[in-house]
Amino acid sequence: MDRTLLQILLVAFVASVPATLVHELGRAVAALALTRGRVCVLLGSGRPLFSVRVGRLLIGATTRWPWGGECLHAPTASRRRSTAILLTGPLAGDLCFLTAGAAAITWRGGPTDHASLQLALFVFALVALVRSSMDLIRASGHRVATAAR
């Protein structure tokens, strides 16, 4: 396997954690603003191995932390508020994509002096974009299946 390809795969794996955290924290910010109960952000799914509590926000990591995350909030939120909370995750991911992509493109001397860091920014931007896109595809598929019944 080519060294560059291995480096890209390693960076993509490492970039998935902050991309997931930004995605779920985007939802958590909206959930904290739109609900009254606790909000729980999990990296992965299942029981958390450890957690950190900041006011009403609880952030925890599970054994399956590289494979996604979830933001849990009060089930009593209205449909409109739940949709707003759902959409803020992809919005945060898209903003990360734009910011990291713009930083990588406009970095003077990036390709020659800091190629690995510029590669990391590009890969992080793409991981954030793919995560946001997959979340929107999953959400739209859920609505289509519900409407078909």
List pLDDT tens digits, range 2-40: 787 887 788 888 888 888 888 889 999 999 999 988 999
8 Å CB contact between 101 and 94: no
Q: Is residue 116 part of a domain?
A: yes
- Burial of 28: CB neighbours in 10 Å, binned 0-12, 13-18, 19+: buried
Decide if 145 is inside a domain: no
Examine residue 119 and state whether it is found in any structural domain, yes or no.
Answer: yes
Answer yes or no: is 129 within a domain: yes
Residue 92 inside a domain? The answer is yes
How far, in Å, CA of 101 to CA of 90, rounded? 16
In a domain, 88, yes or no: yes
Residue 123, in any domain of the structure: yes
pLDDT score for 142: 55
Tell me what pLDDT residue 1 has. 59
Measured distance CA(18)–CA(85) in Å, rounded: 19
Positive or negative, the CA dihedral 95, 100, 101, 102 is: positive
59 three-state secondary structure: strand
* Structural domains of the chain, count: 1
Residue 130 belongs to a domain: yes
Cβ–Cβ < 8 Å for 132, 103: no
Percent of the chain residues topping a pLDDT of 90: 15
pLDDT > 70? residue 145: no
Q: What is the pTM of this model?
A: 0.78
> Residue 83 sits in which domain range?
3-35+77-139
